């Protein structure tokens, strides 16, 4: 199958966007990119450093700019930072240049996957299921509104999730 437009993976932190993106990249034989990694590379600093030194608004603007960069590139798999779909402008840009896949997981699953991470400023000091649940409930409608496809990841490994996406795409 040939990828005709970008494939954006969106969803909450820890839902598995990065690992599913890698699997899809192998199956479809196309490049995968990660918007967080693009920003880190451009800025020459880590995500926590960007949040700390320049603030969240700066980071959010950088995310929007990455979508413009991607607009000029060949179709690829794009693993998005968990907040990408929160801006209406970003959703429009993603829909203009690709299809959007929303990966879901329960707060308990998310917690298990991210509990040892120190690279997610939004969860610093908030690494617990109730907080994850609260933030997820705020975000969920926006993820759903952005999604062309919704895939649950609970109890499935990244290869199985990628297979599920491939079936929908074909």
Residues contributing to the site for ligand S3P (CB under 6 A): 13, 17, 36, 47, 81-83, 120-122
Least Å distance, CB 149 to ligand S3P, is: 18
Return d(Cα 144, Cα 161) in angstroms, integer: 18
* Nearer to ligand S3P among residue 75 and residue 81 (C-beta): 81
Least Å distance, CB 29 to ligand S3P, is: 24
Distances (CA, A) of 36 to 124, 145, 160: 17, 22, 24
Residue 67 and residue 94 in contact, taking contact as beta carbons nearer than 8 Å: yes
Q: 3-state DSSP call for residue 1?
A: coil
Identify which of 158, 155, 109, 116 has the alpha carbon closest to the alpha carbon of residue 132.
Answer: 109
Least Å distance, CB 36 to ligand S3P, is: 5
Residue 103 and residue 3 in contact, taking contact as beta carbons nearer than 8 Å: no
Least Å distance, CB 86 to ligand S3P, is: 7
Count the Cβ atoms, other than its own, within 10 Å of residue 89: 9
* Nearer to ligand S3P among residue 29 and residue 133 (C-beta): 133
* Nearer to ligand S3P among residue 47 and residue 100 (C-beta): 47
* Nearer to ligand S3P among residue 4 and residue 112 (C-beta): 112
* Nearer to ligand S3P among residue 121 and residue 159 (C-beta): 121
Burial of 156 (0-12, 13-18, 19+ CB in 10 A): middle
Least Å distance, CB 92 to ligand S3P, is: 19
Identify which of 49, 145, 161 has the alpha carbon closest to the alpha carbon of residue 109.
Answer: 161
């Amino acid at each position: 199958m040939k990828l005709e437009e970008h494939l954006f993976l969106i969803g909450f932190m820890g839902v598995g966007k990065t690992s599913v993106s890698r699997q899809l990249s192998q199956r479809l034989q196309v490049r995968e990119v990660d918007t967080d990694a693009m920003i880190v590379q451009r800025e020459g600093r880590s995500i926590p450093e960007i949040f700390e030194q320049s603030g969240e608004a700066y980071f959010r603007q950088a995310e929007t700019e990455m979508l413009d960069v991607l607009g000029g590139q060949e179709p690829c798999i794009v693993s998005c930072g968990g907040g990408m779909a929160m801006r209406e402008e970003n959703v429009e840009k993603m829909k203009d240049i690709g299809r959007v896949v929303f990966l879901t997981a329960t707060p308990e699953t998310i917690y298990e996957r991210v509990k040892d991470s120190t690279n997610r400023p939004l969860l610093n000091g908030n690494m617990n299921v109730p907080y994850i649940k609260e933030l997820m409930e705020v975000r969920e409608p926006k993820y759903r509104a952005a999604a062309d496809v919704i895939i649950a990841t609970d109890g499935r490994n990244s290869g199985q999730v990628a297979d599920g996406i491939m079936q929908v795409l074909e």
